[in-house]
Amino acid sequence: MIISKKQAFQDFASAKGLKSTKQRDIILDSFLSCHQHLTTEELYLKLKTDNPNIGFATVYRTLKLFAESGIAREIQFGDGQTRYEHMHAGEHHDHLVCTRCGAIVEFENETIEKLQSEVAAQHGFTIKNHKLELYGYCVKCS
Amino acid sequence: MIISKKQAFQDFASAKGLKSTKQRDIILDSFLSCHQHLTTEELYLKLKTDNPNIGFATVYRTLKLFAESGIAREIQFGDGQTRYEHMHAGEHHDHLVCTRCGAIVEFENETIEKLQSEVAAQHGFTIKNHKLELYGYCVKCS
DNA sequence: TCGTATATTGATAATCATTTTCAAAAAGGC
DNA sequence: GCCTTTTTGAAAATGATTATCAATATACGA
């Protein structure tokens, strides 16, 4: 899984004529080995421990590249920070967000996806992607 | 409809011990008579024509109050700006967003809502609100 | 109506996340 | 190795939003 993501990004990079650099490799490894939904800042801090020489501008730039390449997706939960999550080809998942403790649970629901397509078709829209987030309290917090 | 929103905000204000001010009245009228999904800046610019003496800090503060009072809701479409839309008691609508021309279409779908509740229940979540946005191209742009 | 306590305003400064700038360093051909 | 182009890191810039604070307005009791 991780290997194919690496491959996918390398394909994207060479197709775009990007040069391969140490920094991007490090950031890619770190991102792929990381839990989901992390902030640019979180990844930057995590990296800095082992690689104090990587600047945060590079982390920002590289995560944007990951999103562009399709191996990551930007998500925003309304707390002002952009998060990045791994993107698994072909599948899509949505989020339950606990507004008390910040816990994030992922879920998938094909019926909802199908209904979304129907709604879009009714309005003549061609859907590229979507975002569904349910906000509330998790088991522990309610 | 507009009158009841005004009433609703006044109830909220008095319950919170807020004083009634000219500025808030003007902003409330302007907001209620406005199209949906407007940016704080858009409302500020619109106001400034007739009321050059209202500061944008007040507009920001007041829109946050509207959201708190329940007559408005904050929405974010990922373009970096917070938008406010009218909130109709008891009903909830979601959005189709055209990523080319920026068109926004609202829709409601009870079945999706029901499925969301089911998903939340399965994970032990108590849902307070949710957000569903479908991004793609509208009829004209596709 | 007057005074007083409290909330609100507007201008400005501050903040926070993100982006841009730019000179120096690194990569990829040839 | 040379030369062109991309990338990097540090710092400055940006853009949206929030906090600060003195001046002003409001509510309410005397």
What's the Å distance between residue B41 CA and nucleotide D17 C1'? 11
Strand D: which bases are under 7 Å from protein Cβ?
5-11, 15-20, 25-27
A140 touches strand C (CB under 7 A): no
From CA B142, how far away is CA B137, in angstroms rounded?
5
Instruction: Give the CA-trace dihedral at B42, B45, B47, B48, to 10 degrees.
Output: 170
> What one-character-per-residue DSSP string does B37-91 give?
SEEHHHHHHHHHHH-TT--HHHHHHHHHHHHHHTSEEEEE-SSS-EEEEE--TT-
With a cut of 70, say whether residue B55 has pLDDT above it: yes
Nearest neighbour of A123 by CB, restricted to B96, B120, B133: B96
Residues of chain A with pLDDT under 70: 1-3, 89-90
Candidates B49, B108, B112, B120; CA nearest to A115 is: B112
What is the pLDDT confidence band of residue B3, given thresholds at 50, 70 and 90? low
Position B2 scores a pLDDT of: 59
The nucleotide minimizing the C1' distance to residue B13's CA is C7
Can you list the domains of chain B with their CATH numbers? 2-86 (1.10.10.10), 94-136 (3.30.1490.190)
pLDDT, one tens digit per residue, over B81-137 is 999 999 876 677 899 988 888 788 999 999 999 999 999 999 999 998 898 999 899
Looking at the DSSP bridge assignments, the partners of residue B38 are B84
User: CB A112 to CB B115 under 8 A?
Assistant: yes
